[in-house]
Chains A and B, each alone.
Chain A
Amino acid sequence: MATAIEIFKHLPKKNCGDCKFPTCLAFAMQLANNKAKLDDCPHLSEAGRTALASSSAPPIHLIKVGSGKNVVDLGDETELYRHDKRFFHPAAFALRIADDLGEDDLYKRLSYARSLRFERVGQVLKLDMLELECRSGNAEIFAAFVKKVASETELPLVLRAKQAAVMSAAASMIKDRRPLLHGADASNVKEMCAVAKACACPLAVGADDLNALAEMVEAARKEGVEDIVLDPRPTGLKDLLERCTIIRRSAIRKTFRGLGYPIYLSIPAGRDGILMASTAIMKYGSLLSFEDLPAANAMPLMVLRQNIYTDPQVPIQVKPDLYPVNNPGPESPLLFTTNFSLTFFTVMSDLEKSKVPVWLQVVDTEGLSVLTAYSAGKLTPESVKNALLATGAMERSKIGTLVIPGMVARMAIKLNEATGLQIIVGPKESSGLPKFLRS
């Protein structure tokens, strides 16, 4: 968004108050902070509206790949640093599959792609897309391959081919799926743009340096393509970090408008590739296309992405409640933990492993872990007592005891006074719970 003064220049300056703000300047200030909508001023001239609409366009375009329920949003970021607000659209992971694979290998690869899926703190971490690459150089082979894979998967797709004719044959067949076309470069930009326009698909444009990349963007826009993704083609880690940083800063700081698009990165196989991917997750990559994504790397990368893209204001949390585990009855023990997702799911999985029926009271700590919540004064004898009363936990588990996390053994006496329950100090790590509960 432009500054208040820039916006003010385009307003009618009637100070009539119809926008519910006393003056045009006040309205401009609200607009600049995203607290008002342009449409709230009924007196705006057409010219003013156009000027403001373009300056209020998001610094980085939102590009949608895929169709129906299976859409990946790329871009539309507003920050350089996650602590300033948050990062919004997690970098999408694509696995590359080439059209020279034999039938067997293709199915193996597809089932491998499906297996890259983990549940973590109540969220699903998974592969988001497939990238289908033309290595055969043959339009018919590629088109048949794309058709086959498309019928096997609902994942959004990237099509990767160098010749526009090859791309056209494949893309036109699955254009309803709205694949990302990769891509245009100096050798084929006009033709690729024609394909992208004919199929109404987003287009990736690539170049070996940023100046050339900006020229490619301009060329594509001249051809009437607006849904653009950038491929800055870094050759190593330094290149990746610096190019992505320059692109993001130019867009956010508005020092250069031509690069306000999401970033695609081709990730080579091997250690260097994994380091490039990790860097790209932290530093502004929107779509990472992996030549290879070994299982042992997939999970750390996906957890890194999940970490970086959480809202800094709101830890991932679960609903404070009384949770029955392994079908408990009135004779089953009662335990408590906090509503920080990481804590809850760790404890939950250990309780399930134990197969011992128990009642788990989750105390609202605003999403903080046991010790953090305790130190912050959000896990107190009072808050535990209130949680137990709110869920009627003491009527469900009637044995009159409460197992507490070993880390907060210090609470035992006060908790006993507050609840009247006999307090049993559990292990420090919930991994000790199965053994502890069985004895």
Chain B
Amino acid sequence: MEVPVPKEKWTGSIGEMELGASQEKGGSRRSLRLGGSKGLPFLSFEDPANRTVALAGFVADSLEDVPSPVKKAFGEAVNDPVRWAVAWKEKGADLICLHLTSTNPEEKDVSPEEAAATVMAVMKAVELPLIVYGSGHAEKDVKVLEKVGEAAKGERLLLGQAEEGGYKSIAAAAMANGHAVVGFSNLDINLAKQIVILLTDYGVGRGDVVIDPLMAALGMGLEYSYSVNERIRISALSGDSMLQVPMICDCVSSWKAREATDEVPHAGDTLERGIWWESTTALAALLSGADILVLGHPEAMEIAKEAVKGLRGDA
């Protein structure tokens, strides 16, 4: 008996983009192709192209906000973003996600120049593409990312992040130097679309935008993210051009969920549970549409890698 395969007739697809510029393209790194999906995640009968998902290793240049199991996993290397990034490369990360948290004026207040030097040092040590964030301090981030953008001109970084309340300077920093930019929005499909509209109206190419719809961790609102991501992807495939951009999901926040690592009777080893907390969040992101995952713990990276392989059928 022949069971017909119920394919959805999608009219749209996710735009393709490249991160990291190779030597031919004026940079010095490996380049990575993203996006291009023509169907819902990992359904080869809808999208035989077998797309990939890029796995980014989380690195910060200051340790205030770094979950302690993540610090432990990398040992001494966490005190130096360069060594930390190198460790990620050895562990098979596709790209590095560097947070310049040291620039926060309420903490170490490191200067934009120094921060840019850190970025350049990391780039010299690993030839992987880079995602670079400031510290989350709106005014300072503008200055930091401007400097970083200039210093790394032509390397095709992904700069984070542009928000509805303030996106122009970071968009400008990206445009002037050939970088791409993360458009952040808060768990809402309309806001996700809004930030893409704002960015593209301002002049950023649609092929230079990655959206971050905020991946809430397991037990911390994962269900909202799962559905928002899924709706974004479905709208994009149904033809909404403003949502036809790759999606980034940060899973490191999983370690902030207390249940991930609190002592709970009968809930097993806390480290093991924490790793699965992050991995489960990652899997929900994968199945709801992520094109880039940011991961904190190396074992969560390993598990996510296995998941992507398994879902693509090349395990």
Contact = CB atoms under 8 A, between A and B. Distances in A.
B313 interface: yes
A120 B311 CA distance: 30
Nearest to A246: B5
Given A258-B1, A295-B266, A304-B222, A275 B307 contact: yes
B268 interface: yes
Interface in A255-278: 255-256, 258-259, 271-272, 274-275, 278
A1 to B, nearest CB: 18
A272 B310 contact: yes
Contacts of B312: 238
Contacts of B315: 236-238, 272
Contacts of A294: 268, 272
B4 interface: yes
Central interface residue in A297, A300, A303, by most chain B CB within 10 Å: A300
Contacts of B24: none
Nearest to B307: A275
B9 to A, nearest CB: 12
Interface residues of A, number: 54
Given A283-B287, A307-B222, A238 B42 contact: yes
B91 to A, nearest CB: 16
A279 B283 CA distance: 7
B3 A238 contact: no
A295 B222 CA distance: 21
A218 B277 CA distance: 41
Nearest to B280: A300
A256 B4 contact: yes
A32 interface: no
Contacts of A239: 313
B272 A296 contact: yes
Interface in B228-282: 230-231, 234, 258-259, 264, 266-269, 272-273, 276-277, 279-280
B227 A272 contact: no
Give the one of A210, A211, A237, A346 with max B CB within 10 A: A237
B2 interface: yes
Interface string A281-303: 01100000000001111111101
B158 interface: no
Interface in A365-407: none
A312 B227 contact: yes
A207 to B, nearest CB: 11
A319 interface: no
Interface stretch (A98-106, A110-118, A192-200, A415-423): A110-118
B109 to A, nearest CB: 22
Given A211-B1, A250-B3, A296 B276 contact: yes
B6 interface: yes
B306 to A, nearest CB: 7
B259 A296 contact: no
Contacts of A117: 266
Contacts of B227: 81-83, 312
A431 B223 CA distance: 24
A272 B307 CA distance: 8
Nearest to A114: B266
B126 interface: no
Contact of B223 (A238, A250, A307): A307
Interface string A227-250: 000000000111101100110011
Nearest to B231: A83
* A-B pairs, 7 with minimum CB distance: A296-B268, A295-B268, A237-B310, A238-B313, A296-B272, A249-B6, A83-B227
18 contacts: A82-B226, A83-B231, A118-B267, A237-B311, A241-B311, A250-B6, A253-B6, A279-B311, A283-B287, A294-B268, A295-B267, A297-B273, A303-B280, A304-B222, A307-B222, A307-B226, A342-B220, A431-B258
Given A278-B284, A279-B287, 12 more contacts: A215-B1, A238-B312, A246-B45, A258-B1, A259-B3, A278-B280, A279-B283, A282-B226, A296-B272, A296-B273, A298-B266, A310-B223
Interface of A: 81-83, 115-118, 120, 210-211, 213-215, 218, 236-239, 241-242, 245-246, 249-250, 253, 255-256, 258-259, 271-272, 274-275, 278-279, 282-283, 294-301, 303-304, 307-308, 310, 312, 342, 346, 431
